[in-house]
Amino acid sequence: MKFFGFARSKISQTEFKEQIMRNLTCRYTPDHSCGDFIEKFLENCQYCSGKYDSKDGFIDLDSLLRKNSARLFYLALPPEIFPTVTKYIGLAGLLKSTSWTRVVIEKPFGRDRASSDDLNSELLKELTEDQIYRIDHYLGKEMVQNIMVLRFANQIFKPLWNSKYIRCVEIDWQESIGVEGRGGYFDNYGIIRDVVQNHLLQLLTLIAMDEPESLNADVIRNQKLKVLHDIQTIKVEDIILGQYNTYTDDPQIPDDSTTETFANIKLKIDNDEWRDVPFVIRAGKALDSKNSEIRILFRRPESNIFCNMEECPPANELIIRIQPDEGIHFNIVSKVPGLKMQFQEKDLDLSYKSAFVDTVIPEAYESLLLDVINGEKALFIRNDELEAAWDIFTPALKEIEKNKIKPKIYTFGSKGPDRICKKE
Ligand code: BG6
C-alpha cells in the first residue's frame, strides 16, 4: 500500500515525511515501541504538490500511481472545494482505474437541505453514490459501534426497548473547551450544524431504530432512515439556545454574533414504539466537563410493593458512556444490607478500562478508514439519510437565522441549562 500527500504547499519529500513522523505512534505493539515500523511506513509515503483547480498537479499525481491500482482519496479539505477537486481528479484521469476508486469526504455536508443537495449533485457529476464515503467519525467510536450489540445481542433489553418501558432518552454531549481557533468556521455553523444534525442525530437513530434483518450495510441504513423519516420536524419552541459568555472575544467572531454554542433540543418520533417518549439532545461547548453519553431512563414498575408512604424506589437508568472512560452503567435498585428494608440505587458497572484490560481501543478513524479499504459502508452516511437529517433541522435553523433569535448567555465552564430528562 502506498500513501500520497497532495496539497498546494511546495515542500520537499523530507519535510513531508518529517510532518508525518511528528504524529505517528505505535500503539499496537506490546510496549508501544516502534522499532523499524516507522521507517518502513515512510518508505511508502510520497508527496506531490499542485493546485486544486487545475488538472496539471493531478496528472503528476496520476503518473506516480500504479496503473489500475485501487485508489482511496481522502479529501481533508474545506467542503466548498470538494466539487472542484473531484472535477479535476476526474479530468486528470485519476478516477479511471479498473480496480475500485473511493472518495472519503467530511462534514459539513452543506448548511441546510438545499446546499447539501447542491453539494451532492456536484459530486455525483464525477462519482457514483457507491464511491462516496461520507464520514461521521462518531459512528466509528468503539462505544457507538457497541450500541447495536448491546440492543440486539442481549435478550434482556429487546422486549423493554419501547415507550411502554422507557420514559425518556437523553443524548448529552459536552466539551470543556470553546471554539479554540475555529471561530471563523464555527460562527457560520453553530452547534446544531456542527454536532447535533450529524453526530448526535446518528446516535439517536441507533437507539431508536428497529432491529435490522442482517448486518448488510443497506439493511442497517434502511432501518436508520425509517427512524429519520419518523422524527417530526423540529419546532423552534422545542429548542433552547445558549452562547458562552466569552464566545465573541474571539477575533474571528463578530461582536453581535447570535450563533449558538449550546442547544437543548426535544425531538419526537412519531411511530408506535416511541410516540410520547421525548428524545432530548443536549450539546454544548465551554461547559464544565468533556463528556458524551446516552441516558435511557426507564419507567417505574406500574405497581411496586416496595413503595411506602414517603417514597418509591427509583426507576432504572442505563447509561452508555461514549467518552471519556467508555462503558455501560446500569442503575438498579438494591436492598442495603442490614436488618432494615432500605433501598439504594447501585451501578452495574461495565467500564471498558476494567472489563477489557490491555485492549487497545482504536481511534474512530482507524476503524472507519479500514472500512473504506474493505468497501464496508454500514458506518457511512447514505445520501437519503443526509437528506432526511437536514429535513428535520432546516426549517428551525432558517427561522432562528431569519429572526436572529438570541441565545441565552452562560458562563464559560458552567453546567449549562438544566437537564430535561429528570429522574423520577
Ligand atoms: C467535530 C466538531 O465534528 O467533532 C467539533 O466539528 C467537535 O466541534 C468534534 O469538537 C468532537 O469530536 P470528538 O471525537 O473529540 O468528540
147-177 pLDDT, tens per residue?
999 999 999 999 999 999 999 999 999 999 9
* C-beta 250 within 6 A of ligand 1: no
> Which residue's CA is the closest to the ligand 1 atom numbered 15?
175
pLDDT digits (tens, 9 = 90+) for 196-205: 999 999 999 9
Query: Above pLDDT 70, what percent of the chain?
Result: 98
Confidence band, pLDDT 50/70/90 cuts, at residue 102: very high
Give residue 424's pLDDT band: very low, low, confident or very high (50, 70, 90): low
pLDDT at 423: 66
Cα 264 to Cα 316: distance, rounded to the nearest angstrom: 23
pTM of this structure: 0.94
Q: How far apart are CA 6 and CA 52, in angstroms?
A: 9
3-state SS record for the chain = CCEEEEECCCCCHHHHHHHHHHHCCCCCCCCCCCCCHHHHHHHCEEEEECCCCCHHHHHHHHHHCCCCCCEEEECCCCHHHHHHHHHHHHHCCCCCCCCCEEEEEECCCCCCHHHHHHHHHHHCCCCCHHHEEEECHHHHCHHHHHHHHHHHCCCCCHHHCCCCCEEEEEEEEECCCCCCCCHHHHHHHHHHHHHHHHHHHHHHHHHHCCCCCCCCHHHHHHHHHHHHHHECCCCHHHEEEEEECCHHHCCCCCCCCCCCCEEEEEECECCCCCCCCCEEEEEECCECCCEEEEEEEECCCCCCCCCCCCCCCCCCEEEEEEECCCEEEEEEEEECCCCCCCEEEEEEEEEHHHHCCCCCCCCHHHHHHHHHHHCCCCCECCHHHHHHHHHHHHHHHHHHHHCCCCCEEECCCECCCCCCCCCC
Predicted pLDDT at 411: 95
Q: How confident is the model at residue 96 (pLDDT cuts 50, 70, 90)?
A: confident
* Ligand 1 nearest atom to the CA of residue 191, by list position: 8
Predicted pLDDT of residue 26: 84
| Whole-number average pLDDT of the chain | 93
> The cell 447542491 sits on which residue?
118
pLDDT of residue 421: 65
Q: pLDDT band at residue 67, thresholds of 50, 70 and 90? A: confident
Please write the tens of the pLDDT for every residue from 199-248.
Answer: 999 999 999 999 999 999 999 999 999 999 999 999 999 999 999 999 99
Distance of alpha carbon 148 from alpha carbon 30, whole angstroms: 30
| Res. 132 pLDDT band, cuts 50 70 90 | very high
**What is the average pLDDT across 351-377?**
93
Over residues 72-80, the mean pLDDT reads 91
pLDDT given for residue 149 in this prediction: 97
Kindly indicate the confidence band of residue 25, based on its pLDDT and cuts at 50, 70 and 90: confident
Ligand 1 within 6 A of CB of 195? yes
CA distance 95 to 288: 47
Distance of CA 27 from the midpoint of ligand 1 (Å): 22
Per residue in 364-376, pLDDT tens? 999 999 999 999 9
Closest CA to 107 of 143, 79, 138, 144: 79
Q: How confident is the model at residue 418 (pLDDT cuts 50, 70, 90)?
A: low
Is there a contact between 189 and 285 (Cβ–Cβ < 8 Å)? no
Q: Report pLDDT for 303.
A: 86
Residues known to be catalytic: 199
Would you say the CB of residue 126 lies under 6 angstroms from ligand 1? Answer: no
Residue 174 CA to ligand 1 center (angstroms) comes to 10
CA-nearest residue for atom 10, ligand 1, is 175
Q: Determine which residue's CA is closest to atom 9 belonging to ligand 1.
A: 195
Per-residue pLDDT, averaged over 324-331, amounts to 95
Regarding the beta carbon of 293 and ligand 1, being less than 6 Å apart is answered no
179 lines ligand 1 (CB under 6 A): no
Regarding the beta carbon of 194 and ligand 1, being less than 6 Å apart is answered: yes
Specify the higher pLDDT residue, 402 or 423.
402
Q: Distance between CA 207 and CA 302 in Å, rounded?
A: 24
| CA nearest neighbour of 372 among 79, 132, 109, 145 | 132
Do the Cβ atoms of 423 and 316 come closer than 8 Å? no
Nearest CA to ligand 1 atom 13: 138
